[in-house]
Structure 1
Amino acid sequence: MNDHSRLPDYQVAGHADTTVFLLHGAYGSKDYFRHEIETLVRAGLRVVAWDAPGYGISPLPEGGLSIEGLAEAAGRLIDKEGTTTNVVLGHSMGGITTPAVYAARPNKVHAIAISATVASFSQKSEEDRKTFLAERIDPLNNGKSFRETAAPVVNSMFAPMSNGPMVELVREVALSTAKETFCAAIKAITEYEGVDNLKSVKVPTLLLAGQYDKVGRPEGMERIKAQFVPHADYCLIPDAAHYAFAEQHELFNQHLLRFIKDRVQAA
C-alpha cells in the first residue's frame, strides 16, 4: 500500500451514532487529546483521533505534506470509521484542514468545529507571517535542535496563568514532534489558500478562540465568521491562549458539547 492510499494511524474510543474526528496541530499528535477523548466519550460520543501523516507513528509521505493531502487522508478515515453523524474538530493546523475535509466529503461531514486557527496563511498580516516563520523555521536552519527551537514557541502559546497536567501533556507531546514532519507541515500551511473551502461550508460550524492566542487570534477568528462562515457560532475562551482545550478544558467542552447537542444532534 503506498503513502497516498494507506490510512493514517488512529485511535477509536466510545460507542455512539455521533463520531467526533479529532485533528491535531502542527506541533503534536493524537496523544495530546488524551483528556479530550475521555471527556467526549464520557459525554456519550464516539471519538476517532488520528496521527496525521508524518506524526506519531504515521509515516511521512515521500512527497511531503499538503493541506489538500491531509484533508483527503482524513476523508478516507471518515469513509472507514464514519457513523450516522460525523463532526470534525480541528485544532490549529487541524483547523486549517477541517474545511478542506468538508470539501472532500461534503455528504459525510455533518458539522465542523475549528479551534485556534486562521482562515488561511495569506489572511495573516505581513508582520505575523514573518514572525511565524522566523520563530519556527529559522533556528532549525541554523542548526538548533527541534526541542531547543520549539520550547520557547510552544511555551509562548499558553496563557501566563495556564498550568496543570493537561497543559504539561500538550507541552511534552508538542515538543516530541519530528523535525522533518514539522518542517513539512509549516511548508504545507504557508502554501495553502483556504478561503474558498471556508466559503463552501454549509454545515453547522463552531469557532473556538482563546483570549490570549497569538496564532488563531480572536479577532482573526471573528473575521472568519464575519467574512466566510456567517452561520457559524463563535465562542471566546477566557484565560486561555492557543491550547484552550487543555488550558480551560471544562469551558471549552461546555461550548463544544452544547454545540453538538443543540446544532448537530437536534437538527
Structure 2
Amino acid sequence: MPGAHGAGLHVPRAHVPAVHVEEAGDQGPLLLCLHGIGSSSAAFAPQLAGLSPYVRVVAWDAPGYGRSPDPEGPLTLDDFADAAAAVIRERGASAHVLGVSWGGVIALRLATRHPGLVDSLIVADSSPGSGTDAAKAAGMRARAAELAEAGPRAFAEARGPRLVSPGAPEDLVRRVVDTMAASVRLPGYAYAAESMASADLRAELPSIAVPLLVLCGDQDTVTGIETSQALAGAVHKSAYVIVKDAGHLANQEQPGRFDAWVLSHLRITARIPE
C-alpha cells in the first residue's frame, strides 16, 4: 500500500480490520502492547497485571490471531500498523507502544507511518524485519506452509521451546506452546509472515523522533543481541537494555525485570509519579 512513511501520510485501507483486545488499568497514559508472530494478547498477561496500576494497558490479538476475526484479504505491514493506529484512536489521542519481536516491527512502522499517535516506543527482542536478509526472508515465507502441514499444535510444539532460554521453567515452556497453538491460524499467520519477510526498516529508523527503549534477552537466539543493538543505534533518542536470564520472550520469562525497565522508561517519557 503506498505511503510516505516519514511524513506520516498514507492512503488508508477502506476497511481497517477489527481486533480483540485485553485491557487493564483505568488511569495514566495508554500503553498498547503488540505481540510476536506466534502469539496473542495472552503473551502480555504479566504486563496487564504488573503495569496496570500505573498505566492503561491494552494488548491486542493481531488481525487473524486469537480472538480477532480473520481479515477480509491479505494484509501488509502497513495494514497491521493501520490496525494498531485504529486501536489507539479509539482510546485517545496517542499511546506509548510496546512491541515484542514481530510486534516490535509493527511498532516501528507505526511510529513512522502515524507519528502523531506514538508518544514513545518499547521494542523487545525485535529487528528491522526479515527483508534485511534473503535467507531470513525465505525462511519466514516458508512458515505458512509449515503451519498448514503440521497444524497449530504440532507447529507450536516444534517452535515454542526455542523462544525461551534453555533454563526456562517447564510451566513457562508449556504456556508458550499452548498460547501459540491457540493463537495462530491461516490465513492470518501467512499474512504476518509475508509482512515480516517483506520488511526492511533500516532506512526509516533514523526518522523516528520519539524516545525508544530497546530490550533484549541475554539468551535470545532468535533475533539476537546484535540486531537489538543495531536498532537502538539507528534511533537518536534510544536506550538499550539486556534482560538477564531470558530468551526471545523476555517479557514472559523475566516479567519483573522487564516491567521494571518499561516502568522506568514510562516514568521518564510520560512523567508517571513514583
Which position in structure 2 is the counterpart of 1:155?
A: 161
Which position in structure 1 is the counterpart of 2:120?
A: 111
Residue of structure 2 aligned with 1:208, choices 198, 211, 215: 215
Residues 95 and 117, structure 1, Cα contact 8 Å, conserved in 2: yes
Report SS of the residue matched to 1:56: coil
Supply the distance in 1 between the matched residues of 2:194 and 2:237 (Cα, whole angstroms): 31
Supply the distance in 1 between the matched residues of 2:173 and 2:206 (Cα, whole angstroms): 33
Residue of structure 2 aligned with 1:26, choices 31, 37, 51: 37
Structure 1 residues 16, 197: closer, same or farther in 2, change over 3 A? Answer: farther
Which position in structure 1 is the counterpart of 2:195?
A: 188
Report SS of the residue matched to 2:117: coil
Matched AA of 1:65: L
Supply the distance in 1 between the matched residues of 2:14 and 2:68 (Cα, whole angstroms): 10
Residue of structure 1 aligned with 2:47, choices 14, 36, 50: 36
Q: What is the TM-score normalised by the length of structure 1?
A: 0.88
Per-residue CA deviations over 1:9-61 (Å, capped at 9, x if unaligned) read 2122111231110101111111221222110113x111111111111121222
Which position in structure 2 is the counterpart of 1:122?
A: 131
Supply the distance in 2 between the matched residues of 1:129 and 1:101 (Cα, whole angstroms): 21
Matches within 5 A, 1:1-267: 4-42=15-53, 44-82=54-92, 86-124=95-133, 126-132=134-140, 136-137=143-144, 139-140=146-147, 143-163=149-169, 165-176=171-182, 177-226=184-233, 228-265=234-271
My pick for the range that moved more, 216-225 or 149-158, is 149-158
Residues 4 and 61, structure 1, Cα contact 8 Å, conserved in 2: no
Structure 1 residues 146, 100: closer, same or farther in 2, change over 3 A? Answer: same
Supply the distance in 2 between the matched residues of 1:197 and 1:81 (Cα, whole angstroms): 27
1:196 is displaced (CA, Å) by: 3.7
Q: What is the TM-score normalised by the length of structure 2?
A: 0.86
Matched AA of 2:221: K
| Structure 1 unpaired stretches of 5+ | none
Percent identity, aligned pairs only? 26
Q: Structure 1 segments of 4 or more deviating over 6 A? A: none
Residues 23 and 48, structure 2, Cα contact 8 Å, conserved in 1: no
Report SS of the residue matched to 2:95: strand
1:264 is displaced (CA, Å) by: 3.4
Question: Pairwise CA RMSD of aligned residues?
Answer: 2.2
Residues 14 and 46, structure 1, Cα contact 8 Å, conserved in 2: yes
Residues 30 and 58, structure 2, Cα contact 8 Å, conserved in 1: yes
Supply the distance in 2 between the matched residues of 1:36 and 1:170 (Cα, whole angstroms): 15
Supply the distance in 1 between the matched residues of 2:117 and 2:271 (Cα, whole angstroms): 15
